[in-house]
């Protein structure tokens, strides 16, 4: 992204309102899971003794929150659009979410997926009836295959995060929190493209105005953290992290919302992410992917303690799609985490 | 166990009533987790399309239902008894439950644990303040160490399953189901010593009289299945299974209840248990131990389809304490289970 693009993005207004999120909540109510808020004594202890509620979007249909935004987008399409089918480019959870939503509404879904995404994700999308189009794992080839699929299918493209309907759908995670819990001091949200963070920030700044909304990124994919610190969008050219779902930059629709409404964005390194992931598996008994564990990693980080403040927190666990034959604690240094 | 013992056991009346279970529910209400009923499309599909609700006792404090029975027993002890401390013999979850309950009430806990139970379980009990006494993994040595600990500590012994207060406490799992769900066709419960099954049967035969209560055991530890089929208690001398928490025979207090109130007890083999465990991890995103997975294994078994009938089921997931460095799908044949 050039600095000219970035300047143009910064001037854009926010395109999603609290009313959009609330309307999405009504639209999705009977179709997606109302995910529970769970807790674990060991996680409270790791978070310097504060009370932590885990918003379990790993327990959402298709294993992540992405199905909310995908379905909210499709539910606002015309019958003609749905007949044409939909497409996206996603190496992971948004592809699954779009495939599931398309199956529910009887639309054809095409997913452009990098060849290194793994057979598990591919088979899961195909088992939901989607057609997977593989591309090389480069931006250029992804764009080439996207264009080719668009020409051949006439499918309507849906961005995984840079779409107002998708952002509003992801914000319904926050509406459920507000229905169920009392306001904590802070809500922590994983940040990749920023759709989840933007949607949650819009909802909470309206519904829980005193609550701090904090994004969490891997150190190696920290565009939102650096952009917030600088007050202007700074893209990360070569993001790297064990949290593969977060290797995406903010977009033209998410950055203005993150800029205006999010209180802070912090980073955690891969070793902290893997430790937190293991802690969640062992003590909360929840299968979460590395991208989901960043929020608990931030709460457990001694360096971030001052910055995150005290008081109860809600940590969003964004998804649980992970290959059980390829767990990250076998790749990184094993760490000693207690069990309950 | 000799046949003389068995005959004596069979003549014993039931020692736990519905009122005992309801009183236990009141006693425990604010102290243990009210665990959620969750579901997964892939598990419904594996269970021939029936609706399956998972009663998630893996999300209970200390990672299993055992804390309910332990705490219900301790809450009925006198101050003098609590001052003397409590003890049990357990290689696993009951030891953790007793340690947690003792810490809550300020009592000393001693756990006799076989030397092959693994350092993880031992460290977890010790981190809750319990004193662990190791014994050789034989019945004789366990009894020797139990007697020694009893002499030296004067602690009050609490049986992991053969205690009316423990059985009533485990039955509170069913009270929560009844509060939250409508009556399914059947409720499936893992069976080791039978405390959970007995407690649930007492509660459900009073509260949901039309619901079938079905126990599930590993093929290699099928004393309850064989006893139910024969109409008399037949112990298993050398139980073997990947579901280590279920390698225990029914006791003098649990058999009469299982005999009188449980509709059926079925068995599943270790390969089915490991497949079901992996399905639960991959599709429901829940960390469960092999002992918990037997209920889903039974619902997924083609051979048991006729015997279990159709209609919605609640499958109790009894616990989630498992060593993440020693997962059973690395030991047995890997099996192909889809992901969502």
Considering only alpha carbons, which residue of chain B is nearest residue A92?
Answer: B340
Predicted TM-score of the model (pTM):
0.93
DSSP reduced 3-state for B28: helix
pLDDT tens string A179-200: 999 999 999 999 999 999 999 9
Say how many C-beta atoms besides its own lie within 10 A of residue B271's C-beta: 15
pLDDT tens string B49-94: 999 999 999 999 999 999 999 999 999 999 999 999 999 999 789 9
Mean pLDDT throughout A94-121?
94
User: Taking all residues of chain A, what is their mean pLDDT, rounded to a whole number?
Assistant: 92
User: Taking all residues of chain B, what is their mean pLDDT, rounded to a whole number?
Assistant: 92
Of B324, B338, B340, Cβ closest to residue A281 = B324
Which pLDDT does position A339 carry in this prediction? Answer: 37
pLDDT tens string A330-339: 654 444 443 3
CA dist B328 → A50, A324, A332, B247, B304 (Å):
35, 11, 21, 16, 23
Alpha carbon distance A227, A3 (integer Å) = 12
Alpha carbon distance B314, B37 (integer Å) = 8
Residue B127 has pLDDT above 90, yes or no: yes
Residue B124 to residue A338, Cβ atoms within 8 A? yes
β-pairing, B109-114 vs B86-89, is parallel
At B136, list the tokens: 């050789």
CB distance from A65 to chain B under 8 Å?
Answer: no
β-pairing, B37-38 vs B52-56, is antiparallel
Residue B334 to residue A321, Cβ atoms within 8 A? no
CB distance from A41 to chain B under 8 Å?
Answer: yes
Cβ(A281)–Cβ(A339) under 8 Å? Answer: no
Chain B residues 222-281 with CB within 8 Å of chain A: 278, 281
Which pLDDT does position A119 carry in this prediction? Answer: 85
Considering only alpha carbons, which residue of chain B is nearest residue A120?
Answer: B339
Which of A117-121, A225-229, B31-35 is predicted least confidently?
Answer: A117-121
Residue B287: list chain A partners with CB under 8 A. 281-282, 285-287
Q: Which residues contact B264 (CB under 8 A, 6 or more apart)?
A: B212, B214, B215, B228, B307
Q: What percent of chain A has pLDDT over 90?
A: 86
In DSSP terms, which residues pair with A315 in a beta bridge? A54, A188
Residue B124 has pLDDT above 60, yes or no: yes
Cβ(A183)–Cβ(A265) under 8 Å? Answer: no
At A125, list the tokens: 């999308």
Cβ(B48)–Cβ(B303) under 8 Å? Answer: no
Q: Measure the N-to-C terminal CA separation of chain B; round to a whole number of Å.
A: 47
In DSSP terms, which residues pair with B133 in a beta bridge? B112
At A314, list the tokens: 């809600």
Q: How confident is the model at residue B336 (pLDDT cuts 50, 70, 90)?
A: very low
| A contact test, residue of B285, B319, B326 with most A CBs within 10 A | B285
Q: Which residues contact B260 (CB under 8 A, 6 or more apart)?
A: B14
Q: Which residues contact A136 (CB under 8 A, 6 or more apart)?
A: A114, A115, A142
Q: What are the strands of the beta sheet with B131-135, ordered from one edge?
A: B131-135, B109-114, B86-89, B156-157
pLDDT tens string A43-62: 999 999 999 999 999 999 99
pLDDT tens string A141-161: 999 999 999 999 999 999 999
Alpha carbon distance A315, A173 (integer Å) = 11
pLDDT tens string A202-239: 999 999 999 999 999 999 999 999 999 999 999 999 99
Residues in chain B: 340
Which pLDDT does position B117 carry in this prediction? Answer: 83
Mean pLDDT throughout B207-230?
97
Of A124, A286, A321, Cβ closest to residue B286 = A286
Q: Please, what are the domains in chain B?
A: 3-64+163-330 (3.40.50.1100), 66-157 (3.40.50.1100)
Residue A288: list chain B partners with CB under 8 A. 285
Which of A278-292, B4-18, B238-252, B292-306 is predicted least confidently?
Answer: B4-18
Q: What percent of chain A has pLDDT over 70?
A: 93
Which pLDDT does position A137 carry in this prediction? Answer: 87
pLDDT tens string A8-32: 555 577 899 999 999 999 999 999 9
Q: What percent of chain B has pLDDT over 90?
A: 86
CB distance from B286 to chain A under 8 Å?
Answer: yes
Residue B334 has pLDDT above 50, yes or no: no
The residue to which tokens 């389809």 are assigned: B305
Which pLDDT does position B14 carry in this prediction? Answer: 81
pLDDT tens string B129-179: 999 999 998 889 999 999 999 999 999 999 999 999 999 999 999 999 999
Read out DSSP for B269-290?
-HHHHHHHHHHIIIII-B---H
Cβ(A252)–Cβ(A279) under 8 Å? Answer: no
Alpha carbon distance A112, A100 (integer Å) = 15
Which pLDDT does position B333 carry in this prediction? Answer: 43
Which pLDDT does position A116 carry in this prediction? Answer: 86
Which pLDDT does position B13 carry in this prediction? Answer: 77
What is the rounded radius of gyration, in angstroms, for the C-alpha atoms of chain A?
19
- The b/e string for A113-127 (b: 16+ C-beta within 10 A; e otherwise) is bbeebbebbbebbee
Is the alpha carbon torsion for B28, B33, B39, B44 positive or negative? negative
Q: How confident is the model at residue A79 (pLDDT cuts 50, 70, 90)?
A: very high
């Amino acid at each position: 992204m050039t600095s000219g693009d970035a300047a143009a993005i910064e001037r854009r207004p926010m395109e999603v309102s609290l009313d959009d999120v609330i309307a999405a909540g009504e639209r999705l109510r009977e179709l997606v899971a109302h995910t529970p808020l769970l807790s674990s004594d060991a996680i409270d202890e790791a978070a310097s003794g504060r009370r932590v509620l885990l918003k379990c979007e790993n327990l959402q249909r298709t294993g992540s929150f992405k199905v909310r935004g995908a379905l909210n987008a499709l539910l606002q399409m015309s019958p003609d659009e749905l007949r044409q089918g939909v497409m996206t480019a996603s190496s992971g959870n948004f592809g699954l979410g779009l495939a599931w939503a398309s199956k529910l509404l009887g639309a054809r879904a095409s997913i452009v997926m990098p060849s290194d995404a793994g057979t598990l994700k591919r088979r899961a999308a195909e088992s939901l009836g989607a057609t997977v189009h593989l591309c090389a794992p480069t931006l250029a080839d992804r764009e080439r295959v996207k264009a080719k699929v668009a020409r051949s299918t006439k499918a309507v493209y849906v961005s995984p995060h840079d779409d107002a309907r998708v952002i509003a759908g992801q914000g319904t995670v926050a509406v459920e929190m507000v229905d169920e819990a009392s306001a904590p001091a802070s809500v922590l949200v994983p940040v990749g493209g920023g759709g989840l963070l933007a949607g949650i920030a819009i909802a909470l700044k309206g519904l829980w105005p005193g609550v701090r909304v904090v994004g969490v990124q891997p150190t190696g994919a920290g565009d939102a953290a650096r952009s917030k610190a600088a007050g202007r969008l700074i893209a990360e050219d070569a993001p790297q992290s064990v949290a593969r779902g977060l290797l995406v930059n903010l977009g033209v629709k998410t950055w203005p919302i993150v800029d205006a409404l999010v209180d802070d964005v912090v980073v955690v390194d891969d070793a902290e992410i893997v430790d937190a992931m293991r802690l969640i598996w062992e003590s909360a008994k929840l299968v979460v992917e590395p991208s989901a564990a960043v929020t608990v990693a931030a709460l457990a980080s001694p360096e971030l303690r001052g910055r995150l403040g005290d008081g109860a927190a809600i940590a969003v666990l964004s998804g649980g799609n992970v290959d059980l034959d390829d767990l990250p604690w076998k790749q990184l240094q094993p760490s000693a985490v207690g069990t309950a």
